Amino acid sequence: MKDELKKSLLLNTVIVCLAAFCLFQLYGIFFGDAIESPVQKNTGNPVDDTTFAAIQINILNGCGVNGVGQTLMNFCRKAGYDVVEMGNYKSFTIEHSMVIDRIGKPELSARLARQLGISAENIVTQFSSGHLVTASVIIGKDFQELQPWK
């Protein structure tokens, strides 16, 4: 009889804990979206630098000149970008430097291109699940015309 009472008490305790957990989860589902992150808050103002967290980019050398990636990386980091990768592009025949928008946020890629001195016509959107960055910068043979070299 004593064992049955202990099992019953243990079972009831487990049921109460599970019920509390379920209620807590339901509360989060229905009321969790009401809390806004200050980074995502839409103020109604035009895009400004303070509404975004650090933008993650990668820099790829498409011209074949040694050291251009390092120079551009230093410039971008000073400008507040999070350079998460630096390497070579698939070829060294890129004539004009470009910015590739990887997540469908053209305003961020346009700002990056503007700061680097890359023409707006050299911004392309190319979604990629293989790239976990906001944008990629491909350094072309025109690199000396970009801001870091002026």
> Which residues 6+ apart lie within 8 Å of 129 measured at CB?
none
Residue 17's pLDDT is what? 83
In a domain, 90, yes or no: yes
Burial of 101 (0-12, 13-18, 19+ CB in 10 A): buried
Nearest-angstrom CA–CA distance, 14 and 5: 14
Residues 61 and 133 in one domain: yes
Q: Side chain identity at 13, as an amino acid letter?
A: T
CATH of the domain at 137: 3.30.70.2390
Provide the mean pLDDT of the chain: 83
Closest to 133 (Cα-Cα) out of 44, 59, 78, 79: 59
Residues 12 and 77 in one domain: no
Q: pLDDT (tens digit, 9 = 90+) per residue, 36-51?
A: 333 333 344 444 443 4
Nearest-angstrom CA–CA distance, 122 and 127: 16
What's the average model confidence in pLDDT over 3-30? 79
Put simply, whether the predicted model's pTM sits higher than 0.75 gets the answer no
- The residue segments making up the domain with residue 116 are 49-149
Residues 6 and 65 in one domain: no
Highest mean pLDDT among 28-32, 35-39, 101-105, 137-141: 137-141
Residues 98 and 64 in one domain: yes
Q: Side chain identity at 61, as an amino acid letter?
A: N
pLDDT at 113 over 80: yes
Number of C-beta neighbours around residue 61 at 10 A? 23
The SS3 assignment for 86 reads strand
Q: pLDDT (tens digit, 9 = 90+) per residue, 68-104?
A: 999 999 999 999 999 999 999 999 999 999 999 999 8
